[in-house]
Structure 1
């Protein structure tokens, strides 16, 4: 095909590989400084209320824009793992992520109003606290806390790696020919370790200063930077590739026709996304999105129901403005730079390459790289708050020191966040591989554990504590079992080429089986155990007068 000629020319250009300069580091340092400044501003607002309500919920004052642009649906997977899949497998990945545009409709629409209403009635500050109050079960609350902490900690480790990779790529003198390579034990150098340290100190630091509100405000700022960076990179990539059609033709020439069709391109004959997996993942993202503890806490912190309705449409539009451009950018990147050995760093690589001839190009590339860096920081800060709230509110204050003072709670939160940060850094001294596989694994485990229990909490009067506990354990155990079988079995040649792969029973993602088993077991156990007392259910399911601000403060203190 004659469309291979532009690729040959571009390969010749890449041999004169541009190097990064001080402008990239300067841009990222400005971004870091702005995030820390927002954290200090948030601290002033936190001090206006009790520590628990202010630090972990931001005084329940989030508006529509804050809810929509800080829903933590973007992460290191968005700008590292997901682009790697598009670059590798082609247009089919649009189906893999397509349902993200309906995540807000599914989640906010299904449980948003109920969660916000119930958290105000009970004064609950965390998701485990909702379960404990709803079912009058400290054991259930403890189990929910431990599961959230476990699965979120796994996700955190991958996010720290993503942040360090961005900082490493921005280091002055880095050669883009060496980028896009997955960091392994042998690849780790001082640039990666320094980047890891800078990232950890920054994100843990500003979250310590301002808590939940710092996470929200910096997320809002970072979300705007993400959008601007993606739009700018989209324009540059399409222009450099000679249009999207030409980019697709060149990408097909470098691979084969499956790059532009299903089930996706793979040089080893793998089927990345057959129909069964396409259906699975279309269900995967909306269902895991509405049960995410990091997303639910945002709903609990909103002003009112009207705010939730407005944020639904804002977040749908924002997701569309992030993920569709990223698909186009990575298809263009396959056309422009078709020979990347490893593709986790495709976004930093293409950003540096496309701006190399611009005046102040390094500074411009740094501003674009603020998008993936901001996405990772947003996720980590939100997860830090959720993990700290679980340990401090649901374990330390509930079981260890019920009479803890404000100062003791604050110190416990700080110690928790610092400890989690140190552990995440420690695991990345030898960086994890397969970032997106870890995102899918931890998200799937959390979803299988909490999707059905959350719906039971909100809508089923007959649900019991025993039924919900059984539902949680069954969902998590099903997903973990399928991953264990997949790890020990021959490669089924579908899905991602990674050691962290599940057994795809009948070609379906483990979450489907986890949720199904969770629903069956939860229903059966609830039906066979004693129902909750009607007087307690009245608070949850019967119309109640809205609590006054004084009552809210008393309930959350």
Structure 2
């Protein structure tokens, strides 16, 4: 069968599984809808967390960025993996012990303030919408190449599938769907990596082939011959300071991502939260240690396949023609010699490759079997859809639980809350679809913006809310607003209005670190200049760090002193 036929079969089969799980896991109460009734086993929650966290950016775009940036691309590996460790050690167990449904729930109760809750809701929605834009673009890219439909149609298909299991099953349906999606995406990532490693290095373990063979030495030589810096040379694309700031932004942004944090509310107790964090780290490491190998192998194969060949020879390659039809791969014989050259100079470079096609095209470039190529497409869809569903539920819960139930209508019935939650999932899917059709950037770039916004808004108030009794509502509100506004203005100005990177050359992807610093500073200063939190809130913070497995009794703690 052809690649397209295999893709159709595997995608349809996987979607049938997702839909069946969504139907089988349908819920009738808000606890099941928002936190899966807090009954998910640790190992299953670990797999779901890994799928939720390893989005289209991890599966589709990260290796592409590393392939283009070389050494400098390691910022994504270090930032995202280090951030997950930070989340698992410093935040997850304490937030689970706090016993609430959402991050705005924690902020609202810890800082005894409706205003703080609303600011957190705005930040959660803003971060989630930015993040989900990257996922929907990933869905569109996969469909446009492998099912030969336009990107807009692909996005709409993805919207329908996510809507089904997210609206019907809520967090419970999403959780068990993500467990299945994890195994689809990890198998899809490893099989071509192993096959290509054997072809290029004679080693079936990609990590070992990448590290102990001469493949990087060969790639460095090719890069230098073409006028590029060596693939392994550091700081050729970004300054050392920018690399540092981007890495920190990605780390603390990971620890502040609301759709990942909420996963630790779905397990039965604090002990299970700790174990699920460990399982998730193991599941994540399998892909993240493979990504650098995929990136290096992909760049080597692409250069060998495309550079200095005639356009006629290249267009005889079925995969090249089909990717060219998507607009994500382009050839331009600028000097008219009939051959196409890859060079570091944009004036003479004749091959344009979108970073987001590297992983998806690698099995085709290596001439692997059609079913392997199709499997990668199914894995890319699993990665994008799993994260998109988690993000959509964050948007839904932020409005339905934190605004409608906690502020507008505290007497709302289970049925009313569930209806609002499902309506908001549907509304958020429409917004996500718009961003998928009109994306503000390539997948990993858009996701990096979301991490920067999470770093600048959530991380400081969560970490101070756990470890600093003196932090009060005034400080938290001021810090979140300053961090979020500064970071948003900088990102939008640099990326869309040609504003110079005036803060020591820090890029839009790294400015979240500065926003986080401003948040910490403003929160600490304002908290010290205004009255201390009530005694019961300070006692709550003290109890939160006590190493017991019992959830806190929060019935009499919360927003008594409303703004």
Displacement after TM superposition at 1:332 (Å): 1.0
Q: Which moved more, 1:136-145 or 1:90-99?
A: 90-99
Change (3 A) 1:291 1:337: same
Displacement after TM superposition at 1:514 (Å): 1.1
What residue in structure 1 maps to residue 23 of structure 2?
40
Q: Which moved more, 1:388-397 or 1:231-240?
A: 231-240
What residue in structure 2 maps to residue 535 of structure 1?
536
C-alpha separation in 1, matches of 2:518 and 2:234: 28
1:478 is the counterpart of 2:478 = no
> Cα deviation per residue 1:369-416 (whole Å; 9 max; x = unaligned)?
222211111110101111100010111223333332222222212211
Partners of 1:104 and 1:315 within 8 A in 2 = no
What pairs with 1:62-141 in structure 2 (closer than 5 Å)? 62-71=40-49, 72-119=52-99, 124-141=100-117
Change (3 A) 1:430 1:464: closer
C-alpha separation in 2, matches of 1:518 and 1:229: 40
Q: What is the TM-score when the length of structure 1 is the normalising length?
A: 0.81
What residue in structure 1 maps to residue 407 of structure 2?
399
Within the candidate set 359, 371, 379, 1:347 is matched to 359
Q: Provide the aligned C-alpha RMSD in A.
A: 2.9
Displacement after TM superposition at 1:130 (Å): 1.3
Flag structure 1 segments of 5+ consecutive residues without an equivalent: 1-17, 175-189, 265-270, 493-501
C-alpha separation in 2, matches of 1:21 and 1:519: 51
What residue in structure 1 maps to residue 118 of structure 2?
142
Displacement after TM superposition at 1:488 (Å): 7.8
Change (3 A) 1:507 1:546: closer
What residue in structure 2 maps to residue 510 of structure 1?
511
Task: Kindly report structure 1 stretches of 4+ aligned residues shifted beyond 6 Å.
Answer: 488-492, 543-549, 551-556
What residue in structure 2 maps to residue 374 of structure 1?
382
What residue in structure 2 maps to residue 496 of structure 1?
none
3-state DSSP class of the match of 2:480?
Answer: helix
C-alpha separation in 2, matches of 1:507 and 1:539: 39
C-alpha separation in 2, matches of 1:405 and 1:489: 46
Partners of 2:474 and 2:527 within 8 A in 1 = yes
Within the candidate set 460, 469, 475, 1:461 is matched to 469
C-alpha separation in 2, matches of 1:410 and 1:422: 19
1:260 is the counterpart of 2:225 = no
Partners of 1:40 and 1:210 within 8 A in 2 = yes
C-alpha separation in 2, matches of 1:306 and 1:413: 29
C-alpha separation in 1, matches of 2:217 and 2:423: 54
Displacement after TM superposition at 1:435 (Å): 2.2
Partners of 1:69 and 1:219 within 8 A in 2 = yes
Equivalent pairs counted in the alignment come to 493
What residue in structure 1 maps to residue 162 of structure 2?
203
1:248 is the counterpart of 2:203 = no
Change (3 A) 1:257 1:317: farther
What residue in structure 2 maps to residue 178 of structure 1?
none
C-alpha separation in 2, matches of 1:548 and 1:325: 38
Within the candidate set 297, 318, 325, 1:332 is matched to 297
Flag structure 2 segments of 5+ consecutive residues without an equivalent: 203-209, 307-328, 330-351, 559-563
C-alpha separation in 1, matches of 2:363 and 2:555: 48
Change (3 A) 1:367 1:201: same
C-alpha separation in 2, matches of 1:320 and 1:246: 24
Change (3 A) 1:519 1:491: closer
Partners of 2:39 and 2:268 within 8 A in 1 = yes
Partners of 1:215 and 1:381 within 8 A in 2 = yes
3-state DSSP class of the match of 1:511?
Answer: helix
What residue in structure 1 maps to residue 189 of structure 2?
230
Change (3 A) 1:230 1:458: same
What pairs with 1:299-310 in structure 2 (closer than 5 Å)? 299-310=264-275
> Cα deviation per residue 1:75-118 (whole Å; 9 max; x = unaligned)?
11112321221221224423441243333331121122211111
3-state DSSP class of the match of 1:198?
Answer: helix
C-alpha separation in 1, matches of 2:267 and 2:96: 7
C-alpha separation in 2, matches of 1:344 and 1:313: 30
> Cα deviation per residue 1:303-334 (whole Å; 9 max; x = unaligned)?
22322332333233322210221221121111
What residue in structure 1 maps to residue 39 of structure 2?
61
What residue in structure 2 maps to residue 499 of structure 1?
none
C-alpha separation in 2, matches of 1:374 and 1:553: 39
C-alpha separation in 1, matches of 2:254 and 2:438: 30
